[in-house]
Chain A
């Protein structure tokens, strides 16, 4: 039998794998414990979530297979519908916040004259990373109270008419949670974009300058196209992060008022932890997992299309 050019026969391929295994066995041996741990702590829970999503399970006793019941419940539950809508708003606005503010600050810091100044500002924007996020949430919870800092500031600048129960009103609660954390400079995103700007060769900037691309025009025509990989990565991580996020609604509003700040991830958490309905919670987790996979694949397709 003659092998086609560019193709190897099955037995040749398996021989090659075996040869590689034999030749590199120490490396594979060292990888094995890590792979086993990843398998047990990452893949096994995912497997459990997928399989238990089709059951009525209380977290302790043997699960009862219920077929698609949990999924039927999820797609017909009006609370899940409201939560999904909230998640959509959160993903869009959250992604914009994750991109725009760090980009503006990265541009400003990058174009400061003097390395020392750049270093000082960079440090200033990164230092808040050491503050535990829960502390920030609780502080912001106090800011939003009717007698909190935000309303006091509004009163002080003559905008008392805008004073509001920010977290108590279903019309503002979701936005109050999304816009929590002014000035929204995520240190990781900021450093990623800053590093991206640093990686652009000086020649490109010089050429742009000669061509008259300065200021905002340079940002739009030169920086943004060359920062596309970083922006794509941040957008992807922001979308995934916001789909899975539920900490601030959990801590500050418990998903209320009504269901105004309930998101599917919070619903999953409450369904499991508070109601003990683990089967339904796993079904919500499975749907979220599918959504994240779809979004990831979509981003891969878009980034391939850009090449």
Chain B
């Protein structure tokens, strides 16, 4: 009897050991994992300084698990969302692909990406001592990419740093000796540039980008309240929808649009061509900056690499979003909001589903793909990837930012990155909000085609509809909050 008990115990122990080994290893599936790695793609054709790190990580994985191959898609994808829709409809989506979590949560169909939240709660065997993969991730970023039902479709680990780049030669030509640090200085510099026949900026003023700086200042005292409706750090679309529903992030609150006339002072110095245009037309702004037609460019850190590729020879500097004072708005709190806008960057990977990718129906493939994600999704590998790429800042605790800004005066960007990230906006609750409807109203106001009161009325309509759409689509009672 004792022998039988011992045998049973031994069998149980060995089987549990086998199970735990199986969860750590890619299992029995063998084959090729296809990945569209976007900005981290190794050996991308036509790129001067080719990236190698992701291929090295893949080689390490293949060496560890012979029989599994990692293949990177090496063609440019001009329109990611269309690619996802088309390939998913055919059941041929990549096993892993880059996508914005915002799109996966709103405009892209359910079923194109696997919910990664359960996997994030499990240990990542490739991180020593890890109890849950999510422990090494940025908590605010995790919360911001959650759907109201708790799904998380992307493994996110980096962000874009937004700043105001400027052409030092053109500033000098206009007689500007000091970069602006306050709003009046920015307006004065813009007027000097305009008087010298130089466009201060020539761009579509993107509402979701600029508004973050202003709203994060004007609402800074309510930060905890506005980000806390869902009980998680950071401002999620749910937090945003609740604040809209409560009339806080709407024109009903005087702070909400009090900054529009302040910002208009700035855009009044720009040519009007793009003020009321679609943000998708912003490529002209970059061309004008490279062509030395405009002196300033408000853009993300990814533009540094593009400037290098475009052969920019003139000296480029960067300065941060100027602080606001009571002189600009009586609601200004004086908080430094330079770091308020930071879009998620290139390390933002989703995994397809058996519905969007027929090969995921193969027994054991999902586990194998997850295992590969766990392998490259460690802080160490995130650090290696971002350090080589040089345009995105890793967000996971313990990682350090290494931007490839050697040719640039990057003091402002590095200073900005040290600031705590506190961001308030009203742009992501539904698909049409922010980039579409608010952008149109914003553009019409800035270009002088509607008054502030007309803009307020239109914005209220848009926001009300956005909150209703959010509640209807996600089956949420906003009045509960």
Contact = CB atoms under 8 A, between A and B. Distances in A.
B111 A61 contact: yes
B443 A60 contact: no
B48 to A, nearest CB: 26
Interface string B443-466: 110010100000000000000000
Interface of A: 58-61, 145-147, 165, 167-170, 253-259, 273-277
Which of A61, A169, A257, A275 is the most central at the interface, judged by chain B CB atoms within 10 Å of its CB?
Answer: A257
Given A60-B111, A60-B112, A275-B432, 11 more contacts: A58-B109, A59-B85, A61-B111, A146-B273, A165-B272, A165-B447, A168-B276, A254-B278, A258-B449, A274-B436, A276-B85
Contacts of B423: none
Contacts of A147: 271
B431 interface: yes
B356 to A, nearest CB: 7
A257 B277 contact: yes
Nearest to B103: A276
B50 to A, nearest CB: 31
A256 B276 contact: yes
A145 B449 CA distance: 18
Contacts of B273: 145-146, 165, 167-168
B405 interface: no
B107 interface: yes
A170 B107 contact: no
A170 B449 contact: yes
B191 to A, nearest CB: 18
Contacts of A275: 107, 431-432
Nearest to B278: A254
B361 interface: no
Contact of A258 (B107, B272, B276): B276
B387 interface: no
Contact of B444 (A61, A254, A258, A277): A258
A256 B449 contact: no
B90 to A, nearest CB: 10
Contacts of A60: 85, 88-89, 109-112, 355-356
12 contacts: A58-B109, A60-B88, A60-B110, A146-B272, A146-B273, A165-B272, A168-B274, A253-B277, A256-B278, A257-B449, A258-B276, A274-B81
B108 A276 contact: yes
Interface in B246-272: 271-272
Contacts of A145: 273
B440 A257 contact: yes
A273 B278 CA distance: 15
Contacts of A58: 109-110
Contacts of B274: 168
Interface string B105-134: 001111110000000000000000000000
A279 to B, nearest CB: 12
Contacts of A254: 277-278, 280-281
Interface in B293-349: none
Contacts of B271: 146-147, 165
B108 A259 contact: no
A257 B271 CA distance: 15
A167 B441 CA distance: 16
Nearest to A142: B284
A115 to B, nearest CB: 47
B107 A259 contact: no
B431 to A, nearest CB: 5
A273 B431 CA distance: 12
A168 B89 contact: no
B275 interface: yes
A257 B112 contact: no
- Of B88, B277, B441, most buried by chain A (CB within 10 Å of CB) is B277
**Can you list the 9 inter-chain pairs with the closest CB atoms, starting with the nearest?**
A254-B278, A257-B276, A58-B109, A60-B109, A276-B107, A165-B272, A146-B271, A168-B272, A275-B431
B452 to A, nearest CB: 15
A257 B444 contact: yes
B82 interface: yes
Nearest to B82: A273
A251 B357 CA distance: 32
Interface string B350-390: 00000110000000000000000000000000000000000
Contacts of A165: 271-273, 447
B423 to A, nearest CB: 24
B282 to A, nearest CB: 11
Nearest to A165: B272
B272 A61 contact: no
B121 to A, nearest CB: 26
A95 B274 CA distance: 29
Contacts of B436: 274
Nearest to B88: A60
Nearest to B271: A146
Q: Which of A59, A168, A170, A273 has the most CB of B within 10 A?
A: A168
Contact of A59 (B109, B277, B440, B447): B109
A169 B109 CA distance: 36
Contact of B440 (A61, A258, A277): A258
Contacts of B355: 60
Nearest to B444: A258
B447 A257 contact: yes
Contacts of A255: 278
Nearest to A170: B449
B278 A253 contact: yes
Contacts of A170: 276, 444, 449
A85 B395 CA distance: 49
Contacts of A169: 272, 447, 449
Nearest to B277: A256
B440 A256 contact: yes
Contacts of A257: 276-277, 440, 443-444, 447, 449
